[in-house]
Structure 1
Amino acid sequence: MTKDNSPLGLRIVAPVVAASLVLLVWFAVAAAHSIPTTLLPDPGDVLQRLGRDLTSGRLWLPLWVTTLEALAGCALSALTAMPIAYLIAHSKLADAALSPYLAASQAIPAVAVAPLMVIWVGYGMLPVVLLCSVMVFFPMVLSTVLGLRSIDKELLDAARVDGATAWQLACWMEWPLALPATLTGLRNGFTLSITGAVVGELVMGGSGLGQRLAVQSQSVDTIGLFSTLIVLSVLAVTIFLSMRLVEWLANPFASRRRLK
């Protein structure tokens, strides 16, 4: 895992600049009228629609539902991924037995898993949460295993010689040292969990942004689709940057160095 030494301010400013450039290109293409508005609406119309939906409150409930589903799925996945990652990192037998199946699980598309969730647990928020959990499970396990295996073995051996138990090593050395990699997995998982929530709502229904996209698609509401997609993009970027900030704050040495 490579270290990211870029300043925190750059990580915040760079996405804003990139989004501004995309918006400028969108304005230029729309102003040229080379593409029908049914395919690419004018950004001004989209922003007006977005403003109306936000001020009227129509977007807040779907936004909250999708965020809650993604958060619950990510938390559920973390509760199961962390112990399994620890087991894989410390047991060659567990690594050999579980790793191929974890990798194979990534070949199954979420759209194919969603109908099974409906059959097993029915409709509602629960199958969407489970789908989010399945989608983010492998990235969390992989990053955590990488973090645990990157710890200096001599450091752990020295602690064992001094009488440290396996529980003490895990609590006071292994998990703290593997924290950057674990948080990276949580960050990527939470962002991916948004995708899982939207896919789940598209297939299984609900009251979140995914269901809103389904309704707008059926009614050929292109302006509404773009408006909802912007909300999803902003949500994903906000989560990504928030988790970046958590990683930065959780590493006292890195944060102290960058503040200088």
Structure 2
Amino acid sequence: MTRHARHTWLAPLALGAVLLAVWALVAAFAGLPAFLLPGPLDVATRLVGMLGGPVVWPYVALTLAEALGGCALGAAVALPLAVLVHRSRWVGAAVTPFLGATQAIPAIALAPLLVLWVGYGLTAIMGLCSLMVFFPILISSVVGLTHVPREVVDAARIDGAGSWDLLRHVEAPLALPNVLAGLRNGFTLSVTGAVVGEMVMGGEGLGTLLTLQRDAVDTAGMVAVIVMLCVIAASAYTLLLVVERRSTIVADVRETPRG
């Protein structure tokens, strides 16, 4: 294992151990009741019990489906628009001010409108997730397309590449690391959107489970569900980060001049 790889794994493990130790000390000596601040052992016991039974897995599956569906929907709109913004100055000039304006609107404020337009449940939650992931995917993709080396594009045009061939064989592969970075950040936001959507617009995922545990004052259960959400988001984030780094290596090889 290389030194960089050791740092990649050991640094977050060390920070996690420190945070767990601080949490355990505060829970043990702060004098707070368990329903306000359960200790790590209580949460771990509750988490193992939940994961060992069949009840929690349908909640996990539905939240994952909502997050993945919303992220895919947002990407399906953001990626073609990124190409249009990159290729057309008119489209870029027309769209950019509105993109900035949309970011001033909290996603949670759109939830009641989505309920009115599409009703409660899966469709509305996926719509909320797609709105949350749209902007980071679009911006990252536009940045990636804009920073494709001009000399590579010119060489492809000299070789007779048309607009579609240029996008498919040159611009898209070289912009892929940025696109994946947008998807990486977007999916974590999509998980947040799914949970918030379930709590506001109804649903049967982990957000609903959090609401039930809140009403039952099951603080250890709530923290256990939050840990599940963190693991889901962190796993997807890490997976896409690995793919992004590998695509960066491929992009660097493509850009390297051949002697």
Do the two structures share a fold, i.e. TM-score over 0.5?
yes
Q: Which residue of 1 aligns with 2:224?
A: 227
Worse-superposed segment, 10-19 or 151-160:
10-19
CA deviation vs aligned residue, 1:174-233 (integer Å, no higher than 9, x gap): 001101101100111111110010110010111111111111122222111111111111
Q: Please tell me the residue identity of whatever aligns with 1:126.
A: T
Is 1:140 paired with 2:137? Answer: yes
| 2-structure distance, mates of 1:213, 1:189 | 22
Q: Which residue of 2 aligns with 1:122?
A: 119
**1:74 shift after superposition:** 0.6
Q: Please tell me the residue identity of whatever aligns with 1:128.
A: I
Change (3 A) 1:234 1:140: same
Task: Write out aligned runs for 1:161-172 (5 A).
Answer: 161-172=158-169
| 1-structure distance, mates of 2:10, 2:172 | 32
**1:253 shift after superposition:** 4.3
Task: Write out aligned runs for 1:95-106 (5 A).
Answer: 95-106=92-103
Task: Write out aligned runs for 1:103-114 (5 A).
Answer: 103-114=100-111
Is 1:238 paired with 2:235? Answer: yes
Aligned Cα RMSD in Å?
1.8
Residue 195 of structure 1: which of 189, 192, 195 is its match?
Answer: 192
Q: Which residue of 2 aligns with 1:52?
A: 49
**1:68 shift after superposition:** 1.0
CA deviation vs aligned residue, 1:15-72 (integer Å, no higher than 9, x gap): 2222221111111111113333222112211111111111112221111111111011
Q: Which residue of 2 aligns with 1:3?
A: none
- The normalised TM-score by structure 2 is 0.91
Paired residue total: 251
Residue 214 of structure 2: which of 212, 217, 230 is its match?
Answer: 217
Is 1:186 paired with 2:186? Answer: no
**1:250 shift after superposition:** 3.0
Worse-superposed segment, 177-186 or 6-15:
6-15
CA deviation vs aligned residue, 1:86-123 (integer Å, no higher than 9, x gap): 11112111111111111211111121111111111111
Structure 2: gaps spanning 5 or more residues: 254-259
Percentage of matched positions with identical amino acids: 47
List 4+ stretches of structure 1 deviating above 6 A: none
Q: Please tell me the residue identity of whatever aligns with 2:37.
A: L
Contact 1:110 1:199 (C-alpha < 8 Å) held by counterparts = no
Structure 1: gaps spanning 5 or more residues: 1-5
| 2-structure distance, mates of 1:254, 1:121 | 42
| 2-structure distance, mates of 1:255, 1:53 | 45
**1:14 shift after superposition:** 2.5
| 2-structure distance, mates of 1:12, 1:61 | 31
